[in-house]
Amino acid sequence: MIRIGNASGFYGDRFDAVREMLTGGDLDVLTGDYLAELTMLILGRDRLRDQNLGYARTFLRQLEESLALAVERGVRIVTNAGGLNPAGLAAAIRELATRQGLDVRVAHVEGDDLLGDGFPGALTANAYLGCWGIVECLNAGADVVVTGRVTDASLVAGPAAAHHGWTRADLDALAGATAAGHVIECGTQATGGNFAFFTEIGDLTHAGFPIAEIAADGSSVITKHPGTGGAVTVETVTAQLLYEIAGPRYLGPDVTTRFDTITLAPEGPDRVALTGTRGEPPPETVKVCVNTLDGFRNSMTFVLCGLDIEEKAALVRRQLDAAVGPDGLHWTLARTDHPDADTEQAASALLHVTVKTPDAKRAKAFSRASVELALASYPGATLTSPPGDGTPVGVYRPEFVPQSRIDQVAVLPDGTRRPVEPPTVFAGPVADTPADPAFTPGPTRRISLGTIVGARSGDKGGDANLGVWVRDPAAYPWLVHELTVERLRELLPEAAGLDIDRHPLPNLGAINFVLHGLLGQGVAASTRFDPQAKSLGEWLRSRHVDVPEAFL
């Protein structure tokens, strides 16, 4: 088997994780995932200022203190921190190695950047590449492989395929590695972070990052370094498997991974076996992450305390509409106030207002006009922040292009440019309609859904993903019958008018929902209270439903 660790789940994750993973135990490969749809927008704005930027600079600073350690321990590094400029980051790593007197072979992968290739007006346009460029780099002896926009799981599937000598035909093995990569890609979310039943997890003060031990057949064990915080359990792995997916067929550029075939089982403390994963050919197209700029935004929050909350909010709305015009203003009144409260904060509600406008001057004038109401509005008028400039709004949209349109190239340590051919065997669309299990009703008790159900939620552009699972497999038939699309709309009224996809996953005791359009134009443009839908699952778990007493 090959032992692959992860040290980053996003651009901004724990800085010391690279060093911790290199010193905490044995590894063959250390990966780092720095990219998300929002990150590509951030890097695109960086590159507008300086064409030499466009990569995750934090990763380079991490290597300054850890590259020598990786060389000493014989750990190879694979990361997508190259962002929009993998060649630039690879060159910077070579310069760093030279300064530190290290012999480090650095390679990188190109071909994801499709900007100017049919996406007019885009700030960034990057295809999700697969693992075979990484394989070429590792087979050529690279110690560090830098990529741009590859799928997150490819950072794990690539080293596994290179180590075990897999080909494109080894679909089950590739699917198993992809599933393992999906589990560890978000770092400590696999070891107890953001876990619904976090009070049952060991010490989360400083959670350890995850490791996938991947065998030649693609099966794996998910674990972490001994003595690190958090925990690896069947449920923490289940939660992460449900994160930001759609249906049972998880589409990737190299393989379609059948999430409805995955079997999880404990294999000792902090060890979970992931077996049985089946793979099918990939789709004919690959997704392209396209970001465009769409004006400016600014936000202010008014504190409304005590009596007449609705009337106070209405007055502010009339005043601000008159001052800057109602176009592009989005209002949310959060009734956090309590009657007869024993603290001022508990007696207060929050009125959030956001402006979205093509005019940067209007975005700034909006916050100034808000502050000017301080002595001319409702009693006790208070704002939570001073006025400020607006910030650019980025809009994400997914596009799809034929795999044959991608010119993926592995740039090897000696500078050789080796083209990576696209796949030639593809799968057609398949409808997934598993039959619902039988369920016999019994006595119930009205209680929070989260008493017996866990959840994990997140964003996919303007859509939200919401995965739920039962703790007791016997409760799964009840969950399937209880949590229909219509019932979900009742429990989450903000989703009442949305198109919702529902995907049962009996092998995981789970259902995954995709709520289309909940986040509007995506994270950077969303005016929703929770723009990345990270708390959507916790909201659902807090709702009261009639739960069979047999499961309590």
Residues 507 and 409 in one domain: no
In a domain, 435, yes or no: no
Residues 414 and 452 in one domain: no
Last residue of a domain, one of 386, 420, 454: 420
Q: Over the stretch 344-390, which tens digit does the pLDDT of each residue have?
A: 999 999 999 999 999 999 999 999 999 999 999 999 999 999 999 99
In a domain, 236, yes or no: yes
Residues 408 and 472 in one domain: no
In a domain, 111, yes or no: yes
Element (H, E) at 164: helix 154-164
Residues 469 and 406 in one domain: no
In a domain, 406, yes or no: yes
The strand ranges marked E within 189-233 are: 210-214, 220-224
Residue 57 burial (CB count, 10 A)? 16
Residues 12 and 147 in one domain: yes
In a domain, 199, yes or no: yes
CB 241, CB 291: distance < 8 Å: no
CB 298, CB 388: distance < 8 Å: yes
Q: Over the stretch 41-59, which tens digit does the pLDDT of each residue have?
A: 999 999 989 999 999 999 9
Last residue of a domain, one of 420, 455, 471: 420
pLDDT (tens, 9 = 90+) of the chain, 552 residues, equals 999 999 999 999 999 999 999 999 999 999 999 999 889 999 999 998 999 999 999 999 999 999 999 999 999 999 999 999 999 999 999 999 999 999 999 999 999 999 988 898 899 999 999 999 999 999 999 999 999 999 999 999 999 999 999 999 999 999 999 999 999 999 999 999 999 999 999 899 999 999 999 999 999 999 999 999 999 999 999 999 999 999 999 999 999 999 999 999 999 999 999 999 999 999 999 999 999 999 999 999 999 999 999 999 999 999 999 999 999 999 999 999 999 999 999 999 999 999 999 999 999 999 999 999 999 999 999 999 999 999 888 899 999 999 999 999 999 999 999 999 999 999 877 766 778 899 988 999 999 999 999 999 999 889 999 999 999 999 999 999 999 999 999 999 999 999 999 999 999 999 999 999 999 888 777 778 888 999 999 999 999 999 999 999
Residue 504 is part of which domain span? 444-551
Q: How far is CA 248 from CA 233, 242, 260, in A?
A: 22, 10, 5
In a domain, 240, yes or no: yes
The candidate with the shortest Cα–Cα distance to 527, out of 518, 538, 535, is 518
CB 84, CB 123: distance < 8 Å: no
Q: Spell out the residues 6+ positions from residue 307 whose beta carbon is closer than 8 angstroms to its own.
A: none
Residues 542 and 410 in one domain: no
User: What does the block give as tokens for 169?
Assistant: 């035909």
Residues 409 and 477 in one domain: no
SS3 state of residue 79? strand
The strand ranges marked E within 328-486 are: 329-334, 348-357, 382-383, 391-402, 408-411, 417-420, 444-448, 453-460, 463-470
Q: How far is CA 142 from CA 22, 29, 332, 506, in A?
A: 18, 12, 52, 41
Element (H, E) at 139: helix 132-139
CB 72, CB 23: distance < 8 Å: no
Provide the β-strand partners of residue 410. 109, 418
Q: Spell out the residues 6+ positions from residue 37 whose beta carbon is closer than 8 angstroms to its own.
A: 289, 291, 396, 459, 461, 522, 523
In a domain, 433, yes or no: no
Residues 232 and 271 in one domain: yes
Instruction: Provide the residue type at 256 as one letter.
Output: T
Residues 142 and 223 in one domain: yes
Dump the DSSP string for 223-290: EE-TT-BS---HHHHHHHHTTT--SSEEE-SS-EEEGGG-EEEE-STT-EEEE--EEEPPPSEEEEEE
In a domain, 381, yes or no: no
Residues 166 and 107 in one domain: yes
User: What does the block give as tokens for 379?
Assistant: 């009693």
Residue with tokens 């007869």: 340
Q: How far is CA 253 from CA 14, 130, 302, in A?
A: 29, 5, 47
Radius of gyration of the chain (CA): 25
What pTM does this model have?
Answer: 0.94
Q: How far is CA 394 from CA 311, 328, 497, in A?
A: 34, 15, 25
SS3 state of residue 35? coil
Residues 526 and 406 in one domain: no
**In angstroms, rounded to a whole number, what is the distance separating the alpha carbons of residues 498 and 491?**
13
The candidate with the shortest Cα–Cα distance to 508, out of 242, 201, 153, is 242
Residues 406 and 503 in one domain: no
Last residue of a domain, one of 385, 420, 455: 420
Q: Spell out the residues 6+ positions from residue 297 whose beta carbon is closer than 8 angstroms to its own.
A: 354, 355, 356, 357, 363, 390, 391, 393, 525, 527
- The CB-side HSE value for 27 (13 A sphere, CA atoms) comes to 34
Q: How far is CA 28 from CA 48, 69, 156, 262, 360, in A?
A: 37, 13, 11, 25, 50
Number of structural domains, the chain? Answer: 2
